[in-house]
Amino acid sequence: MNSLDSVIIVLYGLIVAFFLYRIVKHILAKKNIEGEVRAFKKPTSSFEIILIVILVITGGVNVYYGYKQGNNQSILTALVMLLLALVFYISSRLNIYVAENGILANSKFSSYKQIKKWGFDTDSGDIVILVKDKMGESRESTKVRKEDIEEINTLIRRYKLGK
């Protein structure tokens, strides 16, 4: 086993672990949601689609030629690449939740008490939330579909401001 190949597998493995962590964190944070909940899908960017397709094609080709040549290292690298494509796809498809008690976005739940300001970039389709919690102030930003901006804003205004 070439040491460079081992480093590549470890790096891919760390990236897989990161995305798995985000998915698990999202699932656990979802338990904080209470009351009426509305889920919104995030738009998939062309960059995400291209990255997933490249990972799947490269992984598939590596599995095929690794199997054909009896190269277990190539097969292992390919399987890690395919796993990376899968967890990246799942991570990119996680919904945004607007609930009566807060918002779940980017695998982080923020209650309305923590949310100080919010706004939308209608050109890029981003929701930007200023959150103040025990860690200090942070700015959360995530993509939303442009057709959902008005509904998300209405729900936040209703739940946070009572309007």
Mean pLDDT, to the nearest integer, of 129-152?
90
Rounded percentage of the chain residues whose pLDDT exceeds 70: 99
Tokens at 155, concatenated: 């729900």
Torsion of CA 102, 34, 109, 87, to 10 degrees: -130
What pLDDT is stored for residue 3 in this prediction? Answer: 75
Q: How many Å apart are CA 144 and CA 130, to the nearest integer?
A: 16
What pLDDT is stored for residue 5 in this prediction? Answer: 75
Q: Are 127 and 152 in contact (CB under 8 A)?
A: yes
